[in-house]
A = this chain, B = another copy of it.
Amino acid sequence: MATVKDLFRDYLGKHGLKVTRQREIILEGFMGSPSHLSAEELYLRLRKDHPNIGYATVYRTMKLLADSGIASERHFGDRQTRYEPNTSDDHHYHLICNSCGRIIEFEDPKIEDLLQQTASDHHFTLSHQRLELYGLCPDCQAR
């Protein structure tokens, strides 16, 4: 089984980049954390066990994880870029509570088809898509 670690090492090797202690620590920390974390949030978590890891290195490495296809960048309401691991069974969309920040993921092949169809209609080659629904979750409505 090609572990994520192997994938990352592969990517680094093929791009003349080096496997470093920090990169491995950050990858592990990322995979072992809740999803949709920002670089800063991950940095703060890592810090506990690895007080010597630099802020900039976390930013740089998250970018590498995105480039290598291991992570996806997400942009929700706030100003921060968030990351989540890419699963093999690909994309899902997000339903986000304006009040408590809860994030619910959902898939919908019908929507996917319609989007793909729209792109084709306009002779566009799709690279990626962004789809988020914002509102109030049931809990937050009950107030």
Known: A130-B130, A130-B131, A131-B130. A118 touches B136 (CB 8 A): no
Residue count of chain A within 8 Å CB distance of chain B: 31
Instruction: State whether the Cβ of A4 lies closer than 8 Å to any Cβ in chain B.
Output: no
Taking beta carbons and an 8 Å cutoff, which residues of A are in contact with B? 75, 95, 97-98, 104, 106, 108, 110-111, 114-115, 118-119, 122-138, 141
- A124: chain B residues within 8 A (beta carbon): 95, 97, 104, 133, 135-138
- A133: chain B residues within 8 A (beta carbon): 115, 118-119, 124, 126, 129
- A114: chain B residues within 8 A (beta carbon): 108, 110-111, 114
Closest residue of B by beta carbon distance from A139? B123
Closest residue of B by beta carbon distance from A117? B108
- A134–B123 CB distance below 8 A: no
23 residue pairs A–B, Cβ–Cβ below 8 Å = A75-B75, A95-B119, A95-B122, A95-B124, A97-B124, A108-B114, A108-B118, A110-B114, A114-B114, A115-B133, A118-B133, A123-B141, A124-B137, A125-B141, A126-B135, A127-B134, A127-B135, A129-B133, A129-B134, A130-B130, A130-B134, A131-B131, A131-B132
